Structure formats: structure tokens, C-alpha cells
Amino acid sequence: MRPDGRVAKVNRTLCGWLDKQPEEIVGKRFRDLLNVPGRIFYETHFAPLLRMQGFFNEVALDLKTSDGSTIATIANASERRGDKDELLFTRLTIFKATERRRYERDLVDAQSTEREARLRLEENNADLTADVAEQVANRLLEKQNADLREQFIAVLGHDLRNPLAAINAGRRMIEKSHPDAKTARITRLMGESVTRMSGLIDNLMDFARGRLGGGIGVEIRHGDRIEPTLAQVVNEIRSSHPDTEIELRFDIPQTVDVDHARVAQMFSNLLGNAIAHGSKARPIVVDAGIVDGVFHLAVSNGGEAIPPAAIERLFQPFYRGDVSPSSQGLGLGLYIASQIAEAHGGQLDVNSDEIETKFSFKLPIT
């Protein structure tokens, strides 16, 4: 380029790239070979830089071809000056850089995409961290509430015993001092209510021991036969439900080392559950025996099958399932029964279909 910025000489390689003849380029200003954005950038940045330092290197420029399209190039420029520092000419060397410019654009786009992805990831991480913290806080709060509920139940069950004992003592005094039929009927109803309340309190206390303490405690007795304990429970149930048919099948050739009071409690809960939910048209069947070194006690009743979803929750505390409005209870009976089985080192299972529902207690014995 001459000092006035016009092209003085051009080689055929550049003419071929631009699809122009030399005479179409010589005499024109170099900026006229650039597209509009390139002209502005050249005039505002590269021309002043060239005048200040006398050269520039690796400047990205888009040159116009004869059909109006552009080609991507990289340009180096260097001024040649005379003895008096006058500008003689400027040599401009141009390299075709289509692939390089595409790579640079792709790199810029990739960096922009990475920044956006990083920002989204940071936002997601922040949301996830907040969600995790909220879940942890909710779990801690739920545990604290559960602990408070269980402690409240334990205190409630303990404190109800004394007033209930006083009510029962007063009932007996009234019963002795007024032996007439009307008073006897009223005191009998009061006694049934006291017995029922006492059972509820016992269940609450057992639940509290199981959840707050080390589980339900047992006192194993050795060398005692278990049939009298089971028979006593059956006789008590029959006296309370005289219309219920209970069929016994005992085959226990040896003693079973258990806590008889706790096994009686578990057995009573299972029988009570069978009476409450079983079919009145079929008898309740009790099987007890020893097979292959395992003591088993099973209570079976007819009626509708227990749904699989209900079976999964059957031994959880306070779960009562679908019961009739007349059915009463806290939903602790089967939970406590399962805890008694576990305290003995045994297991309580349930199987239910359209024919029968069977609760089975199995205990390995030596």
C-alpha cells in the first residue's frame, strides 16, 4: 500500500481468492476490500495502531469477493520508512483463515455455552442444597415430635394407673355395700370398663417401653408347660364371647421356655383380633405344637382377605386398618404382639387369602 492507503501492488493469489483482476484492486484503498463491519473496525482500531507502532500482527479481517460474499483472513502489516522517517509503503501479508476463524468462533460459542451450563449447575446445586437442608430439618423435626409423642404416651399411661385403681376400689366398695341387682349390674359394667381401660394403659406402657426403652422385657421361665397358659387365655376369651366358636389343636410334647405372661398377652391379642375381624360363620382355629425344634402357635379365622398394602403396615403402631365404627382400640395390639415375639427371639407372621387369615408365632427351642 502507498502512504495514502491505496493498493500499489497485489499478487495473483489474493486476486484468485477475491475472484478479481489486479486492475480491479490496484489504486483502491485497502478498506474498500473489507465488509462494512470490517471497515469500521479497521479505521477505528487497526489503522491507528499501525500509525502508532508501525505494524500489527494477526488481525482478523473479512475480505469481500466479486460476488459479495466474504472470506475469513488473518493479516499482518509492517510499514517501510525512509532515512528521514518518511513513510514509503506498507507491506500487508494476508493468510486465508476460514478454518481457524470457524474454530475460534466455535471456541467462543463453547465457552459461552460452558458459562451458561456452569451458571445453571450452580443454580441447581444451590436449589438442591436448600432442598436437602430442608429435608434434613424436616426429618429432625419429625423425630423430635415423635419422641415427644412417645414420652407423652409413657407419662400418660403411668399417671392413669392411680386414678383407675381408685375407681376400681370404689366400685368394689359399692358392690359390697349394695348387693342389690341394679347396683350389681351397674358395678359389673363399671368393672368391664375398668378392665378395658387397664388393658389400654398396659398397651400404652408396653408401647412406650418398646419405643423409648430397650424393647419389651421378658422373664423366661424354664420347665413349665405352656398348655395351661394358652387354655386360660381361651377360657377368658370364651367367657367374654360365648357365641364365638374356638377350636383347639394342641400337640406340645415338651416344655417351652417362655415368659408365660407375655405369651398369654400376645395370644390374647391375636384371639381378640380374630374375633374382631373374622367371620362369625367359621370357628377360630388355634394350632400349637413343636415341629423340627420350632414351637409354633397359630390363630386362624375366616373372612375377607387382608389387602397386601395393609399387611405391610399391620405390625406398625397405631395402625388399625379398615375397622367398623363399633371397633375400639389404639391399634397397638398387633404391634405389641410382634414386639413380644421379637423379645423371645421368635417371629410373628401373617398370611391372608380368601379362605383364611392366619397369624403364626414361631420360636426355635433347644
Give the model confidence (pLDDT) of 121-157 as tens digits: 888 888 778 788 888 888 887 777 666 666 666 556 6
| CA-only gyration radius of the chain, Å | 48
pLDDT band at 175 (very low <50, low <70, confident <90, very high): confident
Sheet with 55-64: list strands edge to edge: 55-64, 70-81, 87-96
The CATH number of 106-212, from 2.40.170, 1.25.40, 1.10.287, 1.10.1740, is 1.10.287
Stretch 303-319: mean pLDDT: 83
Query: CB of 294 within 8 A of CB of 364?
Result: yes
- Residue 8: the pLDDT is 95
Pick the CATH number of 227-364 from 3.30.565.10, 3.40.50.2300, 2.60.40.1180, 3.30.70.100: 3.30.565.10
Q: What is the mean pLDDT of residues 156-182?
A: 79
- DSSP E strand boundaries for the chain: 55-64, 70-81, 87-96, 246-251, 284-291, 294-301, 347-352, 357-364
- Phi, psi of 61, deg, nearest 5: -135, 145
- What values do phi and psi take at 290, rounded to 5? -125, 125
pLDDT of residue 211: 59
Q: Where are the beta strands (DSSP E) in 41-195?
A: 55-64, 70-81, 87-96
Q: What does the DSSP assignment read for 10-41?
A: --HHHHHHHT--HHHHTTSBGGGGB-HHHHHH
Average pLDDT of the chain to the nearest whole number: 84
- Over residues 294-308, mean pLDDT: 93
Cβ atoms of 76 and 58 closer than 8 Å: yes
- Intrachain domains 12-96 and 227-364 with the same fold: no
Q: What is the pTM of this model?
A: 0.49
Percent of the chain with pLDDT strictly greater than 70? 85
Task: Output the pLDDT for position 68.
Answer: 87
Lowest average pLDDT, out of 7-16, 122-131, 235-244, goes to 122-131
Whether the per-residue pLDDT at 119 is higher than 90: the answer is no
**Segment among 17-26, 121-130, 300-309 with least mean pLDDT:** 121-130
Q: Sorting pLDDT into bands at 50, 70 and 90, what band is 11?
A: very high
CA atoms of 133 and 73, how far apart (whole Å) = 55
Q: What is the pLDDT of residue 78?
A: 93
Q: Which residues make beta-bridge pairs with 80?
A: 89
* CB-CB contact of 123 with 32 (8 Å): no
Q: What is each CA distance from 136 to 133, 139, 235, in whole angstroms?
A: 5, 5, 51
Q: How far apart are CA 299 and CA 287, in angstroms?
A: 7
Sign of CA dihedral 299, 300, 304, 309: positive
Q: At residue 29, what are phi and psi to the nearest 5 degrees?
A: -75, 145
Query: What type of residue sits at position 338?
Result: S
Residue 233 has pLDDT above 80, yes or no: yes
Q: Which CATH number fits domain 12-96: 3.30.200.20, 3.40.50.1000, 3.30.450.20, 3.30.390.50?
A: 3.30.450.20
Does residue 91 sit in helix, strand or coil?
Answer: strand
In this structure, what C-alpha cell is assigned to residue 148? 415427644
Checking if the pLDDT of 180 tops 80, the result is yes
Average pLDDT over residues 151-168: 68
Least confident of 58-62, 72-76, 154-158: 154-158
Q: How many angstroms separate the CA atoms of 340 and 211, rounded?
A: 13
Lowest mean pLDDT among 47-61, 135-149, 270-284: 135-149
Average pLDDT over residues 339-365: 93
Q: What is the pLDDT of residues 321-333, one digit of tens each?
A: 554 444 445 567 8
| Domain ranges for the chain | 12-96, 106-212, 227-364
Give the highest mean pLDDT range of 6-15, 69-78, 172-181, 229-238: 6-15
pLDDT of 291 above 70: yes
d(C-alpha 57, C-alpha 94), whole Å:
10
Pairing assessment for the beta strands 246-251 and 87-96 based on DSSP bridges: unpaired
